[in-house]
Each structure stands twice: as C-alpha cells, then as structure tokens.
Amino acid sequence: MWPLYAAGFTTAFGAHGIAANLGADSADAVTSLLVLGGLLALYDGAEVVLKPVFGTIADRIGARPVLLGGLVAFAVASALYALADSPGWLWAARLGQGAAASAFS
C-alpha cells in the first residue's frame, strides 16, 4: 500500500501545491484559508463525482477520445484559472479542472 500512498501524495502535491498560488494575483479572489481550502476541495470533489460518468462514456466510445478531450479541457480550464480576476471565474475554472481531470484519470 505504501507505493499507492506515495503516488497519491505526489499527485495531490502537484495538483494542489501549484494551484494554491495561482489565485494570489487577484486581491479579492482568495480572501482566507477557508476559501483556499474550498478551491482545493472543489477539484477533488468534481473529480470523484465525475469519474464514474467519464468511465461509462469511455466504455461506450473508447478511452482515447475521453482522455484527449479531458486533457484539452484541463488545459483550457487551467488557462482560465491562471487568468481569472474574480472569485466566480476562479471557482468555475477550478471546477472545470476537476471535471477534466476526472476524464483523463
């Protein structure tokens, strides 16, 4: 189990360590640690809830289109997250990142 724990930690660190700093450019986007925690949790929540949905879609149309679509969607959501200048866009982009991650993971 320890290799799985290490892989999970590495993935979470990559997904959240960088994302925790991207909202820092807008003074009103991340106003507290609670808001930051919510942004980080939104990614995982969307990923967990939508994985079965994208798994079913991948079973029907094939894994490659779902994986590639998820990667493209993740790149778009990440660009939106980096450019977001208001709290609403930041939350929407983070939700999009989690949804897209569920498609390619």
Contacts of 13 (CB under 8 A, 6+ apart): none
Specify the pLDDT at position 19: 66
Specify the pLDDT at position 87: 80
pLDDT tens digits, residue range 12-21?
666 666 666 6
Specify the pLDDT at position 66: 92
Whole-prediction pTM: 0.77
Find out whether 103 and 68 touch, Cβ atoms under 8 Å: no
pLDDT tens digits, residue range 25-66?
666 666 777 877 888 888 888 988 999 999 999 999 998 999
Find out whether 86 and 26 touch, Cβ atoms under 8 Å: yes
Rounded alpha-carbon distances, angstroms, from residue 12 to 39, 44, 100: 13, 9, 15
